[in-house]
Structure 1
Amino acid sequence: MAAKSSHTMTIPTDAELVQAQADLWRHSLSYLTPMALRCAIQLGIPTAIHRHGGAASLIDLVTTLSLPPSKAPFLSRLLRLLSTTGVLASNEVGIYSLVPLSYLLVDGVLVDGDASQAALVLCLTSRYHMEAAMGLADWFKKDIAQPLPSPFEDVHGATLFEESMAVLDPESDKLFNEALAAHDHMGIGTILRECHGLFNGLQSLTDCCGGDGTTAKAIVKAFPHIKCNVLDLPKVVDKAPSDGLVNYVAGDMFHSIPPAQAIMVKLVLHFWSDDDCINILAQCKKAIPSREAGGKVIVIDMVVDSSSPMFETQLLMDVAMMVCTRGRQRDENDWNAIFMKAGFSDYKIVKKLGARGVMEVYP
C-alpha cells in the first residue's frame, strides 16, 4: 500500500479561486496569441503599417488590405490583442505602429542584412506543428523502441527538413526550409559587432550546415583575410549561389568536416540528441589544429539559464525541440558534459546574446 502523503493542500480563498480561473482561461486560450500573429502576417498588417510610414489607423489598414468595411470592428479587436501582447504599439487615438518585433515581419525589408522572420512564424504555427503538439500525450504513453521518434515523426510519419517531409507536402517543406534559413541567419550582424574578437587572428573557418553561405559571407565581408568553407548536404550545396566569396563543400558533418583553424556550429546542435552532438563535435575536433595553433570550435546556440529574463522563451524552445525533433535546448552543465565527452579540454561562454550563447570550445 502506498504511503499517505502528510501534505494537505490549503483550501484556496475566494480571491485565489477567481485568479486561478482567470489564469486557467489565459493558459487555455493562449494559443490565440500566435494565431493572431499568424493572421497578421497572412493579412500583411506589419507590411501595410510600414508602407504607411510606420503608423496607420484602423481605416488605413482596412483600405490598404482591401478588407470589407464590415470587418473593421473585428479587425479592431485583433489589433487590440496584438497591441496588448507587444506585437504592435497603439495610442489613445487608435494609431497602430511597428515595434522591433513586428518590424521583423515586414515583407521585403532586411533587418541588419537578415530577411523577414515571417516564415518562422508561419512554420511554427502550421497545422503540422500544431498537430504534433496535440499528439504529445499519446506519444508519452507509447513504449517505443530506441531511437525514439519525435511526436512530429510519430504523428506525420515524416521528419522535418528531410526528403520524407518533401514527399508528404512539398509546399510546407519549402516553407519550413525558408523558416530554418531565416532562423539561422538572424543575428550574425550582432555577433560580428558584439563578439568581434571571436574572429581575430583566424585564417580559415568552416561553417557546418552553413546553408546558402549567408553567415559565412557576412564573416568574409567583415574579415576579408579569412578563408571560409561552407559545409552542407549535397542537396543544399547544389542550390547555393557561387560567387567566389566562400568555398562550398558537399558532405556530411557526421563523417568528415573540411579542416580549418576554426569550425563554427551555429544553431545546429539543438536539433540533435546528446550522442549525435558528441559525434558531430568529435568530427569538429579532428578538423582543427591544437589550441596553441589557434584551433577552436565556435558553438552558437541557446544556453538555458533560469536567471535569464528569457527563461520562459528558452523553455518553450526546448519543448518545441522535443515535439518536432530529437534534439533539445541545453544549459551550461549540459554543454560542458557534451564538450568533455567529445574530447575537448576546455570552453568558455564568450557572450550571451538574448536567449543564445556564443561559446569557444578548445581541443
Structure 2
Amino acid sequence: MDLLSGRKANEIFEGQVHVYKHMYVYLNSMCLKWCIELEIPTIIYNHEKPITLHELISILQVPPSKISGVERLMRHLSHNGFFDIVTIHDDDDENKEEKEAYALTIASELLVKGTEYCLTPMAKCSLDPSVSSSYNLLGKWTLEENLTLSEISLGTNLWNFLSKNPSILTSFNESMASDSQMVKLALKDHNAVFEGLESIVDVGSGNGTVSKIISDMFPKLKCIVFDLPHVVENFSGTNSNNLSFIGGDMFNFIPEADAVLLKWILHDWDDEHCVKILKKCKDAISKNTKGGKAIIIDFVINEKQDEFGLTQMKLRMDIAMTTLNGKERSEEEFKKLFLEAGFEDYKIFPLTGMYSLIVVFS
C-alpha cells in the first residue's frame, strides 16, 4: 500500500521540507557556536558601526579560500535574526559607493562580551560537546529504566560529573549567572514580592548572582546562598552584611528564612524529588508567623496562550531536561506538586518572555 497515494505532490514536498528542516536544525546551533567562538558580535560592537565583509575578514585574518564560507555563514545568521544586512556609504570612497554591511540585532547584542546582559556563557555551556552530544543517545535513554541521559552518556549524573570537572563546573556556573542577569532586568517590576521579608534563602544558586541582585535591591534583606559544599566553597569569602554562602544538600535541609527562592531548580527533577524539595522549603519557612512563601522562577508551559515560537522554546527545554530526568511543567502540574507538598495557594506572574514567577504560600 502506498501511504501517500492520496496526497497531492505539493503536500508531499511540504512534508519533505519539514523533515529536512528538522534534520539540519542542528546547523543553527553550530553557526551560533562559530559566531561566538570568533567573537563576531563583539568585533562589530567595537567597530562602532555596521561592518562590511571585507572589514570583518580583515580583522579575523581569514585566508582567501574561506572568505566565501564566512559570507555564507553570515548570510545564514542574518536570515535567522542575529545580524541585519544594511546598506552603507564608504566615507573613504570618493564615489560614495554603496556597500552591504552587517549590523547587530537585539539577539547579537546579547552576545557581546563584557556587557551586563551577555548570554555568551550560557550559549558556550549549552553548546559544549560534553553536553550537546548526549542527545545523540535519546533512543538508548528511552529504553533504559530510571537512567538519566547524562548517566547514559557520561557514566554518572550531571552533578557528579560537574564536581569532578572543575573547568566545566565553572562554565556551568557562569552560564547560570549570565541567565540570571535577565532575571535582574525582570525583577525591577516585581519588588512587591520581596517587600516585608527579613530573610530569604536562594537554593541551588551557584555563585549567587540572583541573591546579589536581590541584596542590592533590598539592603536590609538577609540573603543566603545555599548550594552543595563544593559549589559554594569558592564564594564563601565574598560574604557581606546581608549576603552569605552556606553549603548543604537541599534534600536534607534548607536554612530557615522568611522565603525560599528556587530559580530554575524544580525543572531539574522528577515529581517525587520536587515534592521533597518543596517540603524542605515549607519546613524552612514554617517559623514565619506571618506566613512564609516559596518564590519560584521557571518555565510554565501554556500551549493554548503562548505563541508558537515561545511554546517551541519551552518544549525544547523540556527535552533538554532528559539530561537530569527533569521536566518543564504546565500550571496544573505545578499545582499538583504544591498541594502534595502541603502548600495552600499560589499565584503565577509573567516574568520574562520565557520565565514565569510563581509565588507559593504556606
TM-score (norm 1): 0.89
Question: What is the match of residue 152 of structure 1?
Answer: 150
Assess, with a 3 A threshold, how the Cα gap between structure 1 residues 213 and 138 changes in structure 2: closer, same or farther. closer
1:181 matched to 2:177 = yes
In structure 2, which of residues 71, 76, 80 is the aligned counterpart of residue 81 of structure 1? 76
Assess, with a 3 A threshold, how the Cα gap between structure 1 residues 166 and 279 changes in structure 2: closer, same or farther. closer
Contact preservation (8 Å) 2:116, 2:181: no
SS in 2 for 1:328: coil
Contact preservation (8 Å) 2:150, 2:157: yes
1:246 matched to 2:243 = yes
Following TM superposition, the consecutive aligned residue runs of length 4 or more in structure 1 with deviations greater than 6 angstroms are none
TM-score (norm 2): 0.89
Contact preservation (8 Å) 2:187, 2:351: no
Question: What is the match of residue 361 of structure 1?
Answer: 360
Offset of residue 253 of structure 1 = 1.2
Whichever residue aligns with residue 234 of structure 1, its letter is P
SS in 2 for 1:161: helix
1:258 matched to 2:252 = no
Contact preservation (8 Å) 1:56, 1:96: yes
Whichever residue aligns with residue 34 of structure 1, its letter is S
Structure 2 runs not aligned, ≥5 long = 88-98
How big is each residue's C-alpha offset from its partner over 1:112-160, in whole Å with a ceiling of 9 and x where there is no partner?
xxxx322222222222233321111122234x2xxx1212211221322
Mapped partners of 1:312, 1:156: distance in 2? 27
Offset of residue 94 of structure 1 = 2.2
How big is each residue's C-alpha offset from its partner over 1:289-309, in whole Å with a ceiling of 9 and x where there is no partner?
478604111011110110212
Q: What is the correspondence of 1:1-363 to structure 2 with a 5 Å cutoff?
A: 11-92=6-87, 93-111=99-117, 116-142=118-144, 144=145, 148-162=146-160, 164-165=161-162, 167=164, 171-183=167-179, 185-240=180-235, 241-244=237-240, 245-289=242-286, 293-306=290-303, 307-309=305-307, 310-322=310-322, 324-363=323-362
| RMSD value, Cα | 2.0
Assess, with a 3 A threshold, how the Cα gap between structure 1 residues 355 and 10 changes in structure 2: closer, same or farther. farther
Mapped partners of 1:134, 1:217: distance in 2? 37
Identity %, equivalent residues: 32
Whichever residue aligns with residue 285 of structure 2, its letter is I
Offset of residue 165 of structure 1 = 4.4
SS in 2 for 1:158: coil
**Paired positions, count:** 344
Assess, with a 3 A threshold, how the Cα gap between structure 1 residues 40 and 233 changes in structure 2: closer, same or farther. same
SS in 2 for 1:207: strand
SS in 2 for 1:239: coil
Mapped partners of 1:130, 1:204: distance in 2? 38
Offset of residue 70 of structure 1 = 3.1
Structure 1 runs not aligned, ≥5 long = 1-7
